[in-house]
């Protein structure tokens, strides 16, 4: 029976984890970009109003439109508190308003002046550094709204003027070049991933042969030891212990090869959900399959089942995600020389979530925004840098999200949140 002190300790731990998760947001690329956009817009909108109104006056300037832009940008300063859906909606509205609408509207109302021609072109370059699909939607919505607004204010003739029409091919060419460059980068990244996956699979398969040979020889030696007459008991125990250790290391390496092959396969396959997966089943499968280096290491990992839940995904890919998180957590504990790993299945939370908590070395603040970046690894020799990036790609494909809360030299908490069913 657990003591009241133990129960209070557990409640304190749960409260601490909950508080940490409430005060730390999702520092992914989208959030960082929104924060950057919000900071630049909140400062730039009023600053350029002063410049174009007082220092280099333009024919047309609108304080109300700028105030609306400032308000939208200021809302983005709270992006860490946005849900995924709120973030996507905010991005579409704000990007549509600022870059295509505001810049195009001012370009048209200022009769295609040089200042606004260049400003609009720069705005389009910024816009198409975001997701291409999102940028195209924002461009269509914002440009159409700007044209309607211009016509409503009696400047419809500008829409078909030579000054405006000659800018259109330049804008479309810029959009095409930026889109092609993004596609090229994506293709190169996919080729690099495929090459790494194929190389990893090849190396893993090549390792099977010597490991199988070593394992067979150890089994043969053990049989010979059983038949041989060794009078010195200590020598016999020493030899048996050495052989058992060799056999354990061979099995450990075979398990690690299985993990590498799973990751290599996941890099190249379709990530979209095709089945309903039980989180408890997946976690127990990972605990059973993970190649722990010792019984002591295995005892470091504790499973806490609050409420099981199901999610749309793929069982094998879910195993890949959790195996990568397990490997990272145990490495963090090993590097710190202290700590343990706790896995919490919390289906009663909204949204349902899995917490992967280790009290190892933690992650330094300067690395937090980079850990999900493909090919980024810290320390540099700690791997190929595809583990967490692959985890995020899989979670994104499932409409779920993964984020990290950490304090250097203290803890790291990976939070996996799934859509409610």
pLDDT of 207 reads 64
pLDDT on residue 32: 79
Residue 112 falls inside a structural domain: yes
Residues of the chain with pLDDT under 50: 1-2, 9, 12, 16-27
Q: Which domain holds residue 198?
A: 183-268
Judgement on whether residues 320 and 404 belong to the same structural domain of the protein: yes
* Whether residue 351 has a cis bond before it, omega within 30° of 0: yes
Q: Are residues 246 and 213 in the same domain?
A: yes
Burial class (CB in 10 A: 0-12, 13-18, 19+), 341: buried
Identify whether residues 116 and 149 lie together within a single domain. Answer: yes
pTM: 0.53
Residue 56 and residue 147 in one domain: yes
> Do residue 276 and residue 409 come from a single domain?
yes
pLDDT in tens, 158-179: 999 999 999 999 999 999 998 8
Q: Would you say residue 358 lies in a domain?
A: yes
CATH number at residue 379: 3.30.565.10
User: 203, 234, 268: which is the final residue of a domain?
Assistant: 268
Q: What is the pLDDT of residue 16?
A: 47
Same domain, 331 and 394: yes
**Rounded-to-integer distance, Cα 269 and Cα 129, Å:** 27
Of 109, 141, 166, the domain-final residue: 166
Label residue 246 exposed, middle or buried (CB < 10 Å: 0-12, 13-18, 19+).
middle
Do residue 283 and residue 414 come from a single domain?
A: yes
CB atoms within 10 A of CB 400: 23
- Indicate if 52 and 162 belong to the same structural domain: yes
Residue 208 belongs to some domain of the structure: yes
Domain presence at residue 226: yes
Confirm whether 177 is domain-assigned.
no
Answer whether residue 75 is part of any domain: yes
The verdict on residue 54 lying in a domain is: yes
Do 249 and 385 have their domain in common?
no
- The total number of structural domains in the chain stands at 3
Tell me the three-class secondary structure of the chain, residue by residue.
CCCHHHHHHHHHHHHHHHHHHHHCCCCCHHHHHHHHHHHHHHHHHHHHHHHHHHHCCCCCCCHHHHHHHHHHHHHHCCHHHCCHHHHHHHHHHHHHHHHHHHHHHHHHHCCCCHHHHHHHHHHHHHHCCCCHHHHHHHHHHHHHHHHHHHHHCCCHHHHHCHHHHCCHHHHHHHHHHHHHHHHHHHHHHHHHHHHHHHHHHHHHHHHHHHHHHHHHHHHHHHHHHHHCCCCCHHHHHHHHHHHHHHHHHHHHHHHHHHHHHHHHHHHHCCCCCCEEEEHHHHHHHHHHHCCCCCHHHHHCEEEEEEECCEEEECHHHHHHHHHHHHHHHHHHHHHHCCCCEEEEEECCCCCCEEEEEECCCCCCHHHCCCCCCCCCCCCHHHCCCCHHHHHHHHHHHCCCEEEEEEECCCEEEEEEECCCC
Same-domain status, 336 and 372? yes
Look at residue 220 in the predicted model and tell me its pLDDT: 73
Do 100 and 121 sit in the same domain of this protein? yes
Which of 233, 268, 303 is the last residue in one of the domains? Answer: 268
Please give the pLDDT value at position 323.
87
| 291 and 417 together in one domain | yes
Asked if residue 77 is part of any domain, the answer here is yes
């Amino acid at each position: 029976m657990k003591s009241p002190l133990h129960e209070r300790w557990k409640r304190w731990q749960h409260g601490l984890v909950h508080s940490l998760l409430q005060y730390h947001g999702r520092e992914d690329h989208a959030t960082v970009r929104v924060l950057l956009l919000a900071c630049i817009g909140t400062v730039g909108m009023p600053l350029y109003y002063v410049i174009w109104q007082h220092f280099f006056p333009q024919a047309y300037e609108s304080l109300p439109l700028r105030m609306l832009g400032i308000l939208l940008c200021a809302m983005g300063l709270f992006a860490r508190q946005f849900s995924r859906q709120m973030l996507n909606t905010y991005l579409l509205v704000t990007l549509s308003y600022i870059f295509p609408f505001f810049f195009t509207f001012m370009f048209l109302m200022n009769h295609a002046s040089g200042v606004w021609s260049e400003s609009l072109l720069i705005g389009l370059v910024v816009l198409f550094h975001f997701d291409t699909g999102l940028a195209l939607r924002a461009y269509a919505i914002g440009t159409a709204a700007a044209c309607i607004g211009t016509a409503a204010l009696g400047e419809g003739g500008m829409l078909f003027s030579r000054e405006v029409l000659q800018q259109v091919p330049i804008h479309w060419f810029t959009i095409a070049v930026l889109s092609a460059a993004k596609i090229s980068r994506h293709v190169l990244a996919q080729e690099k991933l495929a090459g790494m996956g194929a190389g990893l699979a090849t190396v893993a398969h090549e390792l099977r042969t010597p490991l199988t040979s070593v394992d067979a020889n150890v089994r043969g030696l053990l049989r010979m030891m059983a038949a041989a007459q060794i009078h010195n008991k200590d020598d016999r125990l020493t030899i048996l212990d050495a052989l058992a250790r060799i056999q354990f290391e061979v099995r450990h390496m075979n398990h690690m090869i299985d993990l590498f092959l799973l990751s290599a396969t996941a890099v190249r396959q379709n990530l979209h959900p095709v089945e309903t997966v039980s989180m408890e089943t997946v976690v127990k499968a990972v605990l059973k399959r993970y190649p722990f280096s010792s019984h002591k290491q295995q005892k470091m990992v504790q499973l806490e089942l609050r409420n099981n839940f199901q999610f749309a995904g793929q069982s094998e890919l879910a195993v890949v995600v959790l195996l990568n998180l397990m490997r990272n957590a145990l490495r963090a504990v090993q590097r710190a020389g202290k700590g343990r790993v706790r896995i919490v299945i919390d289906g009663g939370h909204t949204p349902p979530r899995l917490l992967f908590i280790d009290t190892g070395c933690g992650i330094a603040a300067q690395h937090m925004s980079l850990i999900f970046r493909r090919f980024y690894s810290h320390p540099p020799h700690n791997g190929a840098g595809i583990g967490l990036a692959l985890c995020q790609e899989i979670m994104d494909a499932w409409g779920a999200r993964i984020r990290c809360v950490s304090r250097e030299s203290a803890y790291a908490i990976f939070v996996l949140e799934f859509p409610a069913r």
